[in-house]
């Protein structure tokens, strides 16, 4: 299993981009910079953030770091705290911790924290003044005014807020006259200016650049997103600051549209552009990158040593950087690294080689690293279930079926599951013609639901499934498709008769009396299964299964009509002359005969046999 966590191990050759971002921050030379790392959900933005931090730390190896890092995940605060206040407090505490480590700048760091506490509680001050809806008792009025003054100087403790707010409610309820508004002793613009200056002074004293890494902003509700962006605005464009924001650009723009209702797209773009100076997009993965990623995931979960794993990872990323020259990352490249690989790992690398193209192009995976990892985890879970039940399942077969389940339509997967359940050997024989044509590169006319580009690629993916017993695969996959065979809907006697008909269809006439006693619904189910088996016949002379079908057709007229229609639809090349007298004399016979006579591709011996039978019975 692979954890769905960000990592500073580069499996995607993102190090080059991360180093570029780090270089931009360094080259800013203490000037403010804001960088947006954009990309869709699951493409590796969080890992990119980690790699950027790792690259910056690597520049100060063996010396005190020039950078103070703040990692802020706004999503974690959503619903529990105000994201704007939380970000400001996290920044202030990080600088206070740095001051303690350096044993300098403590006064400035503490002053910054006090000012941020004031901004946190300023909202409460507003509610207190609003609550004074009359002339307050002198004691309470004095308490409120002292609180407001304390906010202005940063001396009010946060734990006092609750008590004073409660007092303000009492003031409001005791009011007997008009609103008493004391002359303000502070103003928000002055307070914000003071906060920014305290922030600049603290960074200068500490001689560091603050690097704020904001992640998962695109997971937040619009209110939390805007709140975080507004907090950033307080610190943006101040010396010795760098903000790196990982988010899907379109999600951020959606939040801006929701918050500023009615603004047009141009204003939304302008708002975003003012916050983000340098936009960088996480590069999409091509087939080479997806193949490398799959192989590195398998290597990471193998039993080879840690040093060998790191060696393979480094060489793979190095090779990825040269793919533009025509170099490839594939199993043969891994084999060339002279590292001893187990047979199981080699098989997994081969599977990665085959899966990579389709995982890159399939619309529901699209080379997304998180979705790839989830696919592999689902595959691993089902292999574990198979082992627990003692079911021998080929991992490559299971992977191909799982791909159809994840990327195909529900209808296609249900049809596959039904075909497996209906076949005595659990084989989806209907795929045979399609897989053969796909392997030869022929143009296919597929049924509704199957006619899409993904299916064409899926059919060419080894291994071939038409002649595989997929019952075990479907059993471990039954979370999505319950195994339901015709026998499950039959009575004990009906199931026994169906088994006998399938085992010895040429002896069906001996079972006619027992079949006649079955309910009509069970007769229909039995015919369903017989026709499924009959579809696998490649030559329609007098196959044994026809005896079983004829016996059931004699019992129930509606089943006779189904058999006539079934025979009419057989490929012309399969129809042989000796089937004609075999089906002569039934009410539905003319249905098949007329269809064969009208079909120019049906052989003349068949048509002459039909003519002869008509003369014989006339």
219/98 same-domain check: yes
503/559 same-domain check: yes
79/206 same-domain check: yes
- CA dist 403 and 416 (Å) reads 13
548/570 same-domain check: yes
Beta carbons of 503 and 511 less than 8 angstroms apart: no
Query: Which of 188, 219, 238 delimits the end of a domain?
Result: 188
- pLDDT, one tens digit per residue, over 381-398 is 888 888 887 888 888 899
Report the share of the chain in percent with pLDDT over 70: 85
Beta carbons of 89 and 115 less than 8 angstroms apart: no
Beta carbons of 285 and 367 less than 8 angstroms apart: yes
What pLDDT does 413 receive? 87
Contacts of 138 (CB under 8 A, 6+ apart): none
Contacts of 287 (CB under 8 A, 6+ apart): 356, 357, 360
pTM recorded for the entire structure: 0.61
What pLDDT does 482 receive? 43
534/558 same-domain check: yes
> 260 lies in a domain?
yes
What pLDDT does 63 receive? 67
What pLDDT does 390 receive? 82
Q: Is the pLDDT of residue 323 over 50?
A: yes
Split at pLDDT 50, 70, 90, the class of 265 is confident
What pLDDT does 575 receive? 94
Split at pLDDT 50, 70, 90, the class of 185 is very low
- CA dist 381 and 373 (Å) reads 12
62/130 same-domain check: no
Query: Which of 188, 207, 235 delimits the end of a domain?
Result: 188
Domain encompassing residue 215: 15-107+193-281
pLDDT, average across residues 514-528: 89
What pLDDT does 194 receive? 84
- CA dist 610 and 580 (Å) reads 6
User: Mean of the per-residue pLDDT values for the chain?
Assistant: 82
Number of domains within the chain: 3
Spell out a b/e string for 90-111, using b for 16 or more CB atoms within 10 Å of the CB, else e. bbbebbbebbeeeeebeebbbb
pLDDT, average across residues 416-428: 85
> 311 lies in a domain?
no
What pLDDT does 86 receive? 83
172/199 same-domain check: no
532/576 same-domain check: yes
| Three-state secondary-structure class, residue 461 | coil
203/89 same-domain check: yes
Beta carbons of 12 and 313 less than 8 angstroms apart: no
What pLDDT does 176 receive? 37
Split at pLDDT 50, 70, 90, the class of 226 is confident
Split at pLDDT 50, 70, 90, the class of 446 is confident
What pLDDT does 61 receive? 67
Split at pLDDT 50, 70, 90, the class of 263 is confident
Beta carbons of 422 and 535 less than 8 angstroms apart: no
544/606 same-domain check: yes
19/165 same-domain check: no
Which of the listed ranges 379-383, 437-441, 531-535, 563-567 does the model predict with the highest average pLDDT?
Answer: 563-567
What pLDDT does 128 receive? 42
- pLDDT, one tens digit per residue, over 208-220 is 999 999 988 888 8
> 334 lies in a domain?
no
Beta carbons of 36 and 280 less than 8 angstroms apart: yes
Q: Which of 40-49, 539-548, 599-608 has the lowest mean pLDDT?
A: 40-49
Q: Is the pLDDT of residue 607 over 90?
A: yes
Dihedral (Cα; 255, 259, 262, 266), 10-degree rounding? -50
Q: Is the pLDDT of residue 411 over 70?
A: yes
Give the pair of three-digit tokens for residue 380.
């691993």
What pLDDT does 6 receive? 66
> 470 lies in a domain?
no
84/131 same-domain check: no
pLDDT, average across residues 465-479: 85
Q: Which of 200, 249, 205 is nearest to 32 (CA)?
A: 200
Domain containing residue 252: CATH number: 3.40.50.300
Which of the listed ranges 202-216, 257-271, 349-363 does the model predict with the highest average pLDDT?
Answer: 202-216
Residue 304: CB atoms within 10 A of its CB come to 16
- CA dist 175 and 154 (Å) reads 29
Query: Which of 247, 281, 315 delimits the end of a domain?
Result: 281
């Amino acid at each position: 299993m692979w954890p769905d966590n960000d990592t500073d191990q580069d499996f995607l050759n993102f190090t080059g981009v991360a180093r570029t971002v780090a270089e931009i921050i360094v080259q800013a030379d203490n000037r403010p910079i804001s960088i947006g790392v954009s990309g869709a959900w699951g493409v590796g933005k969080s890992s990119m953030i980690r790699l950027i931090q790792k690259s910056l730390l690597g520049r100060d190896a063996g010396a005190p770091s020039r950078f103070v890092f703040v990692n802020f995940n706004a999503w974690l605060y959503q619903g529990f705290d105000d994201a704007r206040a939380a970000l400001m407090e996290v920044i202030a505490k990080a600088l206070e911790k740095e001051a303690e480590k350096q044993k300098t700048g403590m006064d400035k760091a503490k002053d910054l924290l006090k000012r941020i506490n004031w901004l946190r509680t300023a909202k409460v001050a507003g509610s207190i003044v609003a609550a004074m809806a009359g002339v307050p008792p002198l004691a309470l009025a004095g308490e409120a005014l002292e609180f407001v003054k304390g906010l202005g100087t940063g001396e009010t403790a946060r734990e006092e807020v609750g008590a004073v707010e409660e007092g303000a409610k009492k003031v409001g309820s005791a009011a007997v006259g008009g609103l008493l508004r004391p002359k303000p002793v502070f103003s928000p613009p002055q307070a914000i200016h003071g906060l920014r200056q305290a922030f600049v002074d603290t960074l200068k004293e500490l001689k560091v650049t603050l690097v704020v890494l904001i992640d998962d902003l695109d997971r937040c509700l619009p209110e939390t997103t805007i709140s975080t962006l507004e907090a950033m605005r307080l610190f943006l464009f101040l010396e010795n600051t760098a903000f790196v924001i990982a988010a899907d650009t379109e999600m951020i723009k959606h939040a801006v549209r929701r918050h500023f209702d009615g603004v047009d797209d141009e204003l939304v773009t302008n708002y975003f552009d003012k916050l983000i100076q340098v936009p960088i997009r996480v590069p999409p993965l091509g087939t080479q990158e997806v193949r490398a990623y799959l192989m590195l995931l398998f290597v990471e979960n193998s039993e080879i040593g840690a040093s060998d794993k790191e060696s393979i990872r480094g060489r793979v990323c190095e090779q990825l950087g040269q793919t533009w020259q025509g170099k490839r990352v594939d199993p043969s490249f891994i084999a060339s690294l002279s590292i001893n690989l187990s047979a199981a790992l080699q098989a997994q690398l081969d599977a990665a080689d085959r899966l990579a193209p389709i995982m890159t192009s399939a619309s529901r995976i699209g080379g997304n690293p998180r979705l790839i990892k989830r696919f592999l985890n689902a595959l691993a879970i089902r292999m574990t279930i198979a082992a627990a039940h003692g079911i021998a399942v080929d991992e490559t077969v299971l992977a191909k079926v799982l791909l159809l389940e994840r990327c195909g339509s529900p209808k296609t997967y249900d049809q596959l599951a039904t075909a497996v359940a209906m076949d005595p050997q659990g084989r989806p024989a209907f795929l045979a013609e399609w897989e053969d044509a796909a392997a030869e590169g022929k143009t296919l006319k597929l049924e509704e639901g199957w006619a899409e580009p993904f299916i064409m690629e899926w059919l060419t993916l080894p291994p071939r499934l038409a002649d595989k017993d997929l019952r075990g695969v479907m059993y471990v996959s039954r979370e999505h498709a319950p195994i339901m065979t015709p026998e499950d809907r039959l009575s004990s006697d009906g199931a026994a008769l169906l088994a006998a008909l399938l085992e010895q269809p040429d002896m069906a006439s001996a079972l006619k009396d027992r079949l006649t006693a079955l309910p009509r619904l069970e007769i229909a189910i039995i015919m369903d299964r017989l026709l499924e088996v009959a579809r696998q016949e490649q030559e329609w002379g007098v196959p044994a299964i026809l005896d079983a079908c004829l016996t059931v057709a004699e019992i129930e007229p509606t089943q006779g009509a189904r058999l006539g229609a079934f025979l009419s639809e057989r490929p012309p090349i399969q129809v042989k002359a000796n089937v004609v007298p075999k089906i002569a004399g039934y009410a539905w016979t003319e249905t098949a005969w007329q269809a064969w006579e009208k079909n120019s591709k049906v052989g003349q011996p068949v048509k002459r046999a039909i003519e002869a039978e008509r003369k014989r019975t006339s």
